[in-house]
A = this chain, B = another copy of it.
Amino acid sequence: MSAAPQFTGWQAIQAEVLRRIHAREWPPGQTIPGEVALAQEFGCARATVNRALQALAEAGVLERRRKAGTRVALHPVSKATVTIPLIRQEIEERGAAYGYRLLRRQEGTHAMLTGPALHVTALHFADDTPFVLEARHISLSVIPQARNETFHEISANEWLLRNASYTSGDITFSAQAASAEVAQHLGAETGAPIFVMDRMTWDGEAAITAVRLSYVPGYRIRTVIGGS
Contact = CB atoms under 8 A, between A and B. Distances in A.
Interface of A: 18, 21-22, 24, 28, 60, 75-86, 89, 161-162, 165-177, 191-196, 203, 217-228
B173 A220 contact: yes
Given A171-B222, A174-B221, A165 B24 contact: yes
A76 B75 CA distance: 31
B82 A77 contact: no
B193 A177 contact: yes
A127 to B, nearest CB: 21
Given A81-B82, A169-B224, A173-B173, 8 more contacts: A76-B165, A78-B83, A166-B226, A172-B223, A174-B175, A176-B193, A191-B191, A192-B193
Nearest to A222: B172
